[in-house]
Structure 1
Amino acid sequence: MINPQWLHTFAVLSEMKNFTRTAERLGITQAAVSQQMRQLEQQHGQLLLRRGREMTLTPAGLALLQYHQEIQHAENRLQIRLTECESTCGDVGLVSTGSIGLRLYPLLLDMQQQHPGLVLRHRFAPDPEVVEAVLSNKFELGITNIKPDDARLNASCFTKEPLELVVPAGKTIQRWQDLVDLGFIDHPDGRAMATRLLSRVFPGNPGISSLPISGFTNQVSLLLAPVARGLGFTVLPHFARSSFAEQAAISVVSSEVAVVDTLWLIHRREWPLSSRAERVVAFLRGQLKC
């Protein structure tokens, strides 16, 4: 059996890629880190390649790191099963895309205040990482914009979210030229979202490429700051807009047409949700009225 302390030290070293910083993280001496690595390499062969300040894992090192991760996941699953009868204490991990995450995170904090025994972890991630995080058991719950086609996952409709055309407060948008005059605040999904919505609001328009770009950010929580300052318009999901603090400084352009996306709640199909995860889902759905 591999010494658990040595294995933990190796995992930290593979993350820090530096013996001194690893020793500081663990609160031990650098000599102790080196000794533990020598012990592991005597048992399992060369685990690390060091060239100057660079450090990489050998195939044996990668296999050992994967083994450590599998042990951690197994321990997490055991803890969930041992305490699954407890609905108001223990750990629940939720990973979601950015827009819905901005709406959910304050709600998770509200729930944790009501039930201090709960430990609610949330992470923002793009769709592929949401799916991978749930498949790898790093998070029990995930919310994604795309329904995954994977037999290992259970997916159910969580809520609906429309796209919105957002402009500075007081701006009137009646024709395509009004958007041209403002300029587009772009983001990683901006062109795709704008194309989907504006093709319906302004049918036959010249296309998003004809709009001048007046700004860009990859942080959805910051996307409306330039709009609020009158620097342009953008297209983004409803929950990202509704979570913005300065609502009086922006305006949503109303339209008779709508583009509405489904958000999917996913979890591993092989075992049921813990009772506390079910409680979290029920609370969030109740707050969103979905």
Structure 2
Amino acid sequence: MFNALYFRTFITLVETGSFTQTARRLEMTQPGVSQHVRKLEQYLEKPLLERHGRRFTLTEAGRRAYDYALKLFADHEQFRHSLDVDSLFSGECRLASPGSVGLMLYPFLLGQQQMHPGLSVSYSFAFNHEIVQDVLAGRYDLGIVTDTLRQPDLKVEPWHREPLCLVVPADFAGSGLAELMGIGFVNYYDGLNHASALLRSNFPREFRSMSHFRRQGFTNEVSMVLDAVARGLGFTVVSRLVLETSPWQRQVKELDLPVAVHETLHLVTRAGSEMPRRYVRLLEDFREQRRQALSGFGELPAGP
């Protein structure tokens, strides 16, 4: 007999790689986990695991069963959430974004949840490629990414633009490319791309490549990169969202540049799906809040 619970147990087992951790996560006994796997193998009439003591590897049937189970639950979640697409102030909001966006968007969503208790927010901070996989697998309804993607199973559309900021230590006295090269560059995920775009637009004659800048370190957590800048270790280029939410914003400063360059944020959903109205409202409210905030800087990027 088909039992979705067996597939759920199997997914958790594959993801944890441990019967013990699976039992703990699902609040089951370890024999109960083993029984679910045996029942699933009996139902499919195929062995799913090759056991090696306490460890295991997947058989070919096991790999195919895992892929099918992911699709099964993704379709189930898509169906479940499609039933309440018309609700503006209630329902679960499952989304993911890079930290550069989530540092401000997640607190905004929590504020909305406080005002509308019917809302529930599940938010993941992740890199672009992880977000794509989560949306495809149905773990999240909506992703926000900083890259332009081409994926037939996804719908990708531009949503909002944020200015890029050239950030230097508070006591930095220079203004030109030579002085920036002198203090070096602090990198992070997307840092080189952002710096290249901003410097190329503002120093078209002098700038050649970021390879000419001394590297002063790297962090995969964008929210921490300004700590290094505040300590005088170099400069970086970040989205204004990062600068405005940084605890080190008073220990650094933004250099004024003649040419504005923006980072475009894209919405990612599964192809053919309808975005529930609560998402549309929340995204538009946040974008309007950002437009008003940016108007204080004299920056009003046109919305897509």
**2:7–2:69 contact (8 Å) kept in structure 1:** yes
Query: Could you say which residue in structure 2 is the equivalent of 1:78?
Result: 79
Asked if 1:194 is matched to 2:182, the reply is no
On the 8 A contact 1:131/1:148 being kept in 2, the answer is no
Moved more, 233-242 or 192-201: 192-201
> How many percent of aligned residue pairs carry the same amino acid?
37
AA matched with 2:12: V
Query: In the alignment, is the contact (CA less than 8 A) between 1:130 and 1:142 conserved in 2?
Result: yes
Contact 2:163-2:262 within 8 A present in 1 as well: yes
CA drift at 1:46: 0.9
Judged with a 3 Å threshold, the aligned counterparts in structure 2 of structure 1 residues 116 and 213 are, in CA distance, closer, same or farther, namely: same
Q: Which residue in 1 is equivalent to 2:70?
A: 69
- For 2:248, the equivalent position in structure 1 comes to 246
Task: State the TM-score, normalizing by the size of structure 1.
Answer: 0.89
| Residues 213/33 of structure 1: CA separation in 2 closer, same or farther (3 Å cut) | same
SS in 2 for 1:120: strand
User: 1:233 Cα deviation (Å)?
Assistant: 1.0
Correspondence 1:92 to 2:96:
no
Q: 1:172 to 1:79 in 2, by over 3 A?
A: same
Other-structure match for 1:213: 215
In structure 2, relative to structure 1, the CA distance for the partners of 1:39 and 1:127 (3 Å cut) is closer
Shift of the alpha carbon at 1:60?
Answer: 1.2
The secondary structure found in structure 2 opposite 1:196 is helix
Q: Measure the CA separation in 1 of the matches of 2:264 and 2:19.
A: 47
SS of equivalent residue, structure 1 residue 43: helix
Q: Which residue is equivalent to 1:8? A: 8
1:184 corresponds in structure 2 to 185
**Aligned positions, number:** 290
The answer on whether the counterparts of 2:200 and 2:208 sit within 8 Å (CA) in structure 1 is no
Tell me by how many angstroms 1:177 deviates: 3.1
The gaps in structure 2 that reach 5 residues or longer are 292-302
> Would the alpha carbon gap of residues 263 and 71 (structure 1) be closer, same or farther in structure 2, given more than 3 Å must change?
same
Return the alpha-carbon distance in structure 1 between the equivalents of residues 159 and 80 of structure 2: 26
d(CA) in 1 for partners of 2:138 and 2:21?
28
Match of 2:294 in 1: none
Paired residues of 1:134 and 1:267 also in contact (CA < 8 A): yes
Q: Is contact 1:173–1:253 with CA below 8 Å preserved after alignment? A: no
CA root-mean-square deviation: 2.3
Structure 2 distance, partners of 1:219, 1:95, is 15
5+ residue gaps, structure 1, are none
Contact 2:106 2:123 (8 Å CA) reproduced: yes
1:1-290 to 2 correspondences below 5 Å: 1-44=1-44, 45-150=46-151, 152-202=153-203, 203-205=205-207, 207-289=209-291
**Amino acid in the other structure paired with 1:3:** N
Cα distance in 2 for residues equivalent to 1:259 and 1:157: 16
Amino acid at match of 1:55: F
Structure 2: distance between partners of 1:29 and 1:247: 50
Structure 1 distance, partners of 2:107, 2:79, is 29
Inter-partner Cα distance in structure 2 for 1:288 and 1:163? 14
User: Residues 208, 140 of structure 1: CA spacing in aligned structure 2 closer, same or farther, 3 A cutoff?
Assistant: same
Distance 1:191 1:138 in 2: 30
Query: Do 2:177 and 2:206's aligned partners in 1 also have CA atoms closer than 8 Å?
Result: no
Structure-2 separation of matches of 1:66 and 1:47: 12
* 8 Å Cα contact 1:166/1:251 also seen in 2: yes
2:228 counterpart SS class? helix
Residue aligning to 2:299: none
Q: 222-231 vs 173-182, which deviates more?
A: 173-182
Q: Rate the CA distance shift 1:180–1:155 in 2: closer, same or farther, 3 A.
A: closer
Query: AA paired with 1:14?
Result: V
Which SS does the other structure have where 1:28 is aligned? Answer: coil
| 2:295 aligned residue | none
Deviates more, 1:145-154 or 1:8-17: 145-154
Tell me: CA distance 1:22–1:262, structure 2 relative to 1, closer, same or farther (3 Å).
closer
- Larger mean CA deviation between 103-112 and 65-74 belongs to 65-74
For 1:144 and 1:36, the matched residues in 2 are separated by 37
Q: Distance in 2 between matches of 1:224 and 1:13?
A: 39
The Cα of 1:206 is off from its aligned counterpart by 5.7
Classify the secondary structure of the residue corresponding to 1:236: strand
